[in-house]
Amino acid sequence: MIRVFVLIAVIFVANIVGQTTVELLPEKDNTLFEDPQGTSSNGAGEYLFTGNTNNGQVRRALVQFNLGVIPGDAQIQSVALSLTMNKTVAGPTPVTVHRVSRDWGEGASDAAGEEGRGTSAAENDATWIHAFFNTTAWDTPGGDYISTPSATDTVDGNGTYTWESTAPLVTDVQSWVDDPNSNHGWIIIGDESVIRTAKRFYSKESADTTRFPRLIVTYTPGTSVKSRDSKTIKEYRLFANYPNPFNPETTLSFQIPERTRVRLSVYDVLGKTVDVLVEKELQAGTHSVQWQGIDKNGRAVPSGLYYYRLETESFSAVKKMLFLK
């Protein structure tokens, strides 16, 4: 079920004795449904799946968090990943988290009913054989990832499970903060050695934001400054705003790999321009701007769904955000 809730959000920020803790929601998530044709996905579905079905078909969940709110010079101290499981016929089952080694997609596919069989993949969906349907294949069917798990937890009945901080989890996040282009998230794998081990978790499309996957990161400021400029940025990218939903303001961020003229605009569901936040030439790097829910005439806008578009000479991208009063 397609929702208008967050792609990324900062739930809280806490500062304790020189350390900062942030809780993030996913930028994207999806499920790989074992299918030799690579035509099944569930990019906009409400659920994620792991393990082996009653018919012996494997399910693997993908999740990625945008770490743009963490300073580039931060030293990661601890990392914890939390998911809420809501359906299974299996007892206690080990579920492992592995670092993904290449980028992947989340399309508009949205399976009906219990969602366990997925549905026809949409453009740019990750599938069993595609990182992006149907143009870019994984090197290995079932996803490209580091075989050694970054964390393991035992998942039993319904409830929230947390993969507590481990050295590999900290290493994963530290490397992604140092080089944002290497952040492809994690793949979550259940017991695939026998049938009837499937576990169903809530995705970021859940109707209840408290059920979303969560990443909790604690960090301290580093001793040197690492700018996120053209040395590390190799592609254009429009990030999800945070927080989202928001009131009274939200931050819109984007990255550009070269000096270019940029237009960042906000418009409503009817396609009418609400405001133009940026319209000028910018240097390569990561840029952020705040929007306070005000139109180009300085008037407060009503609650509702809005879109923001990044445009350059060679790139265009759109994302959505929800303003709640």
The pTM of the full predicted model, rounded to 2 decimals, is 0.70
Other beta carbons within 10 Å of 280: 8
**Residue 75 to residue 241: CA distance in whole angstroms:** 24
Look-up of token digits 């030439």: 281
Q: How confident is the model at residue 250 (pLDDT cuts 50, 70, 90)?
A: confident
pLDDT band, very low/low/confident/very high, at 101 (cuts 50, 70, 90): very high
Question: pLDDT at residue 129 above 50?
Answer: yes
* Lookup: tokens for 71: 């300073």
**DSSP code for 181:** G
Residue 5: alpha-carbon gap to chain centroid = 12
Does residue 172 contact residue 186 with C-beta atoms inside 8 Å? yes
Question: Domain residue spans in the chain?
Answer: 9-220, 237-323
Cα 167–71–222 angle (5° rounding)? 65
Q: Convert the pLDDT of each residue in 145-186 to its tens digit.
A: 999 999 999 999 999 999 999 999 999 999 998 888 899 999
Name the architecture of domain 237-323: Sandwich (2.60)
pLDDT of 16 reads: 54
Query: ∠ CA(44), CA(102), CA(309), 5° rounding?
Result: 50
